[in-house]
A and B are shown apart, each in its own frame.
Chain A
Amino acid sequence: MLDTAGPMIDSNDPAPVLSIGAVSKKFDSLTVLENCSLDVAEGEIVTLLGPSGCGKTTLLRCIAGFWDADSGGIRIDGRDMGAVPVNRRPVGVVFQSYALFPHMTVVQNVGYALRMLRMPRSAVAERVSTALETVSLTGLEDRYPSQLSGGQQQRVAIARVLVMEPRVLLLDEPFNALDAKLRGSMQVELRQLIKKLGLTSIFVTHDQEEALTMSDRIAVMRAGRIEQAAPPEEIFDRPATAYVADFIGMSNFFSGEAQAGAVLLPDGQSQSTELQGPVKVMIRPHNIRLVDAQDQDWRGTIAFHRPVGPLIEYHVDVAGDQIKVLSMRQQQSQIYADGACVGLQVIDPASCSIYPGAH
């Protein structure tokens, strides 16, 4: 495996606000987190992305202090959080189910953290109303959580942590309880809000669309490990491992043999590599072009096609394997029907990713 879990910060960058150093955690014999390291810079939004059960919530809970890591440490502004109890950490958590206090009105919920600080009433009222304005919830001050819609509840949960001006904001799948349409608009809204306030945030999701929308950087997790932490484009274009490539976006995998610093692609072109021996080649569907079958070594028949927005997605049957191809739709003449015999060509060999792998 490639080691890409390390910090992505250049030496001349300012010190990270949040620094997760080699955190491991076990439940009995089950390893849930393994050597997770991640640095988050001031004002950055990092998404933890991974399938269900890969340890995203666990990592978040270690940062918030609900659970202690077995080894490794969490630092915020350089200060080790090991001995700092939950209620003294400068961390705000927006829970998956919001966890609003059902017996308190919106104002009481939002003012909770300030009351715990024994701030004078007038100051509490002032900061609460500012926070409610920020998340556009004015007018709902005296409602109880059960009288709010899902979207409104989410905004109360956000306002409730904003008032305490946390150094790090943690959001655990905050859109899960919302319907698909509302989700889309809330994602953009929330990202803009966090950016405006300049909050350093970690955002958890298992939805890659959401990750691509929300993040400055995505950390892809797999079974307790961080496989790659990089900006969305880089994750998509240069996935560090086959797992990441498979997890993000559509992909086609081929087995190949690396010899003398190069790998032969299925269409006959070659791509250079430092690897030796058996490899896996990943080609994105939009990096393949359909051409006439004549004079092509790499060819097959169209098994299925469908329009996807401005694109057409083809599944091409090549010797029993289905290869996915995405083409632009403008060239009307070039739409191939199901059953048509076509040839395939890699558009840009340099954009193919090559991973070590067995046949």
Chain B
Amino acid sequence: MANVSVPAGGAGWGERLVDALLSGRGVWPAVPSIVVLMVMAVIPFAILLSLGFSDIEVARGAIISQTFSLTHLTTALTDPLYWITFQRSLNLALTTTFFCLVFGYPVAYLFLVGGRWTKRIILILTIAPLLTSGIVRTYAWLVILGGRGVVNSTLLSIDLIDQPLRIMNTHWAVLIGMVQIHLPVMILPLIAVMSRHDTRLVEAAENLGASQLATLRTIIFPLSVPGIGTGAALVFTLSYTTFVVPQLLGGGNYLNAATMVYEQVVFSLDWSKGSVSSLILMVTCLIVLVIIALITNRLTRWTRGRDA
């Protein structure tokens, strides 16, 4: 961790800095985290980028020359493999987001209308999985979806199928794992936003003649749009850039953007390719996030208060 060091000699400004940090004036309180971000994220990323935009000569493990070049980028953008892989990643992430919303929304709604115990149980069931590592949870799916896993043996035993289904190492296994693993990330912001609003609003709607369904459609849903936006942004980012789930559930040859970067860097040792791929990954992710933010913003004009 980077600490802000205060030289012993300069008592004057040192004290002032500590004072400013504690009293929270100006930008000073943000300094430690800015330093951490610089050291741990911005600088490494800059180095990585520099690899992607230059031709490098390496001799005995050291870079001996580095010249600016766009060839890696142009090769990547004209390579159909890149297009297919990123399209697959995008598809997977959008489908995951969609299913997380479809499965998560009813849970959040149940939390909103449920009693004390319903709320507690939902919260425990939502948060408990987060206490386990994603890798462990992904392995659990191996057990469930495998050729002799729970799903197949159940289906076989009730004679619904006579051959084990091949679920593992397919697109479906990846999708199922992704949805389950990212579901809490969708549910929590939904619950946070939905329970922030006054329950009186629902009562007022009922009093004005709205049925339960009409209340959901006209009050609860529109008010939860910011939560949907946040949840969708989180789930999309996580599942678009995920590495563990496709690697484990998709089998060795399921390629998405993150596993591609991994292959390029770890197996092909082609850092320039890896760098360009991660840049494309990041830029496309940002574009989708901006689109989500714009849509959410458009749907929540009312939050902007006194600006009319």
Contacts and interface: CB of A to CB of B under 8 A. Distances in A.
Which one of B206, B207, B210 has the highest number of Cβ atoms from chain A below 10 Å of its Cβ?
A: B207
Nearest to B214: A116
Contact of B210 (A100, A116, A147): A116
Interface in A85-116: 86-89, 91-93, 95, 97, 99-104, 112-113, 116
Nearest to B211: A87
A62 to B, nearest CB: 13
A102 B223 contact: yes
A87 B223 contact: no
A128 interface: no
Interface string B190-205: 0000000110110111
Interface stretch (B56-64, B253-261, B285-293, B300-308): B300-308
Contact of A161 (B198, B206, B208, B223): B208
Contact of B201 (A89, A99, A164): A99
Interface string A255-273: 0000000000000000000
A95 B198 CA distance: 11
Contact of A86 (B207, B223, B305): B207
A95 B305 contact: no
Interface in A103-151: 103-104, 112-113, 116-117, 142-144, 146-147
B207 A101 contact: no
Interface in B241-275: none
A104 B204 contact: no
Contacts of B219: 101
Contacts of B209: 87-88, 113, 116-117, 164
B214 A146 contact: no
Contacts of B197: 102
A113 B206 CA distance: 9
Given A103-B223, A142-B308, A143-B308, A95 B208 contact: no
A99 B204 contact: yes
Interface on chain B toward A: helix, strand, loop, or mixed SS? helix
Contacts of A103: 222-223, 300, 302
For the side of the interface on A, what is the size category?
Answer: 20 to 34
A99 B200 CA distance: 6
B300 A86 contact: no
Contact of A116 (B198, B200, B208): B208
B208 A113 contact: yes
Given A87-B209, A116-B208, A116-B210, A99 B203 contact: yes
B208 A97 contact: no
A87 B219 CA distance: 15
A59 interface: no
Given A86-B207, A99-B200, 12 more contacts: A66-B206, A87-B210, A88-B209, A99-B201, A101-B204, A102-B201, A116-B211, A116-B214, A142-B308, A144-B305, A144-B308, A147-B305
Interface of A: 64, 66, 86-89, 91-93, 95, 97, 99-104, 112-113, 116-117, 142-144, 146-147, 160-161, 164
22 contacts: A86-B206, A92-B207, A93-B203, A95-B200, A95-B203, A95-B204, A97-B198, A99-B201, A99-B203, A99-B204, A101-B201, A101-B204, A101-B205, A101-B219, A103-B300, A103-B302, A112-B208, A116-B210, A116-B211, A143-B308, A160-B208, A161-B208
The 6 closest A-B pairs by CB, nearest first: A99-B200, A113-B208, A116-B209, A99-B204, A103-B302, A86-B206
